[in-house]
Amino acid sequence: MSMDKAETQALISEVLEVYPDKAKKDRQKHLTANDTDAAGKKCVTANRKSLPGVMTARGCAYAGSKGVVWGPIKDMIHISHGPVGCGQYSRAGRRNYYTGTTGVNSFGTMNFTSDFQERDIVFGGDKKLSTIVDEIETLFPLHKGISIQSECPVGLIGDDIEAVAKVKGKEIGKTIVPVRCEGFRGVSQSLGHHIANDTLRDYVLDKSEEKEIETTPYDVAIIGDYNIGGDAWSSRILLEEIGLRVVAQWSGDGTIAELENGPKVKLNLIHCYRSMNYISRHMEEKYGVPWMEYNLFGPTKCEESLRKIAAFFDETIQAKAEEVIAKYRQQWEPIVAKYKPLLEGKKVMLYVGGLRPRHVIGAYEDLGMEIVGTGYEFAHNDDYTKTIPEVKDATLIYDDVTGYELEKFAEQLKPDLIGAGVKEKYIFQKMGVPFRQMHSWDYSGPYHGFDGFAIFARDMDMTLNNPCWDKLTAPWKKPAVEEAMVVNG
């Protein structure tokens, strides 16, 4: 069943009916039926403050900086500066894989925090921060640098983390980066990405200008791949197989030394545009390094991207790309043959962060599945412009969708599978709707590249065709008697 535009619009109006007028007017601008004729024009309003009183799935600027951009850099220690919760509750949740010995030369899954107490709010936390730097130097001498990730209170009490970073950095002779990513800045984690990119520019790239490395004509950097479940690894092997040399990974399984190589590469390859376009733009303007977006979800997009990347280089690379594509055909064609019959025609609703709502579509389509609704938590207008051609006409598009709206849309569209975040996961599972957590791959992955596609296809089948779903009754739909029994028993 696919809907036409009028039906999609009617669905939107029906769902918005319960809101007060002002809220309705505001939310209306964030919801639409895709109009493929409108390519290049305005789609929905994006990157605006969420309405007070609704359930949003967005995160904060600290989450964007510490959790996304800085956190995966494995040989640096990232201090969650402020109260203990922000860092502890998000600790290691994003599954940015890395190699190394945790606690010795890599620190990815550890939580470093200044654990603010009342005293620190009253008298300021700068002294404590200096002490922490000393302690880190003593306990973890092999770390290659420190970033200070400000949580809300730090900005509110006006601490001077820049001064501490400067003094202490000189003292220990390593890079210390103060990041002003207090959670209250901006409307979502998106501004945190931006702030993190700006600090990478000022504290890492600017200082690495004199650094000399041996270069080849085939040096590239992977940008905006956080190695979730090993994504960057399954991407990297493809790039290496076609003859390129990956000198830096920003920032999954990355090191500060790699980032410093950034300005010397021939081409920056951006996977997550939303979180790292800023640094790529900067490198293009300042160092003349061109950048290119690519997409390694699903064989169709993989082949397309490998050809696009190869076209930037010479014929040897192009020839190798064709060989690699032919080689992996042997691998992925049987996978499609196996899973497509199990998944064909199934409807999928997506609601993810800033890239996947458009990037993973190809992988679903390779399995014969259909996207009936998609939307982003924190995308900007250009992301929606890029989404329009990726989905069919009249597909429902939602920006910063509220918990209520998403549930209602799902009730009406009756998708066979929902891919969204952990905040949505348990509600839909209790409703008996097959669900995949598409931020950190639900404890699975990698999903990038041809190797990742095999895992993706298996996971989607495993979830969607699991016999458990129709045996579930949502707790709120269970007859009252049972509940009484539970209370008494």
Partner 1 sequence: MPNVMIRKEADGALSCYIAKKDLEEAVVAIEFDEPERWGGEIELADGTCYYIEPLSEQPQLPKTMRARRA
Residues 360-389 that bind partner 1 (CB under 8 A): 380-382
Which of 445, 417, 434, 293 minimizes the C-alpha distance to 359?
293
Q: Is 92 helix (H, G, I), strand (E, B) or coil?
A: coil
Q: Is 316 helix (H, G, I), strand (E, B) or coil?
A: helix
d(CA 203, CA 177): 6
Cβ neighbours of residue 239 closer than 8 Å, sequence gap 6 or more = 220, 222, 246, 269, 309
Residue 183 interacting with ligand SF4 (CB under 6 A): yes
d(CA 147, CA 69): 11
d(CA 124, CA 154): 8
Catalytic positions are 60, 63, 94, 193
**Site mask for partner 1 (CB under 8 A), range 20-49, x = bound:** --------------------xxx----x--
Taking phi first (over 0 means left), then psi (-120 to 50 degrees means alpha), and beta for anything else, what does residue 186 get? left
Toward ligand SF4, which CB reaches closer, 86 or 256? 86
Could you tell me the smallest distance in angstroms from the CB atom of residue 114 to ligand SF4? 12
Q: Which listed residue (74, 81, 194, 358) binds partner 1 by CB under 8 A?
A: 194
Could you tell me the smallest distance in angstroms from the CB atom of residue 285 to partner 1? 5
Residues 41-60 that bind ligand SF4 (CB under 6 A): 60
Toward ligand SF4, which CB reaches closer, 94 or 236? 94
Toward partner 1, which CB reaches closer, 25 or 286? 286
Out of ligand SF4, partner 1, none, what residue 183 binds, judged by CB under 5 to 8 A for its kind, is ligand SF4
Could you tell me the smallest distance in angstroms from the CB atom of residue 190 to partner 1? 7
d(CA 199, CA 180): 9
d(CA 192, CA 41): 27
Which residue's C-beta sits nearest to ligand SF4?
183
Residues 86-105 that bind ligand SF4 (CB under 6 A): 86
**Site mask for ligand SF4 (CB under 6 A), range 60-79, x = bound:** x-x-----------------
d(CA 299, CA 234): 13
Beta-ladder partners of 437: 420
Count of Cβ atoms closer than 10 Å to residue 348 Cβ: 26
Out of ligand SF4, partner 1, none, what residue 284 binds, judged by CB under 5 to 8 A for its kind, is partner 1
Could you tell me which stretch among 263-271, 277-285, 294-302, 341-349 binds partner 1 (CB under 8 A)?
277-285
Range 331-336, long-range pairs (CB < 8 A, 24+ positions)? 331/450, 331/451, 331/454, 332/299, 332/450, 332/453, 332/454, 335/453, 335/454, 335/457, 336/299, 336/366, 336/367, 336/457
Could you tell me the smallest distance in angstroms from the CB atom of residue 214 to partner 1? 28
Toward ligand SF4, which CB reaches closer, 72 or 192? 192
Out of partner 1, ligand SF4, none, what residue 21 binds, judged by CB under 5 to 8 A for its kind, is none
Where does this chain bind ligand SF4 (CB under 6 A)? 60, 62, 86, 151-152, 183
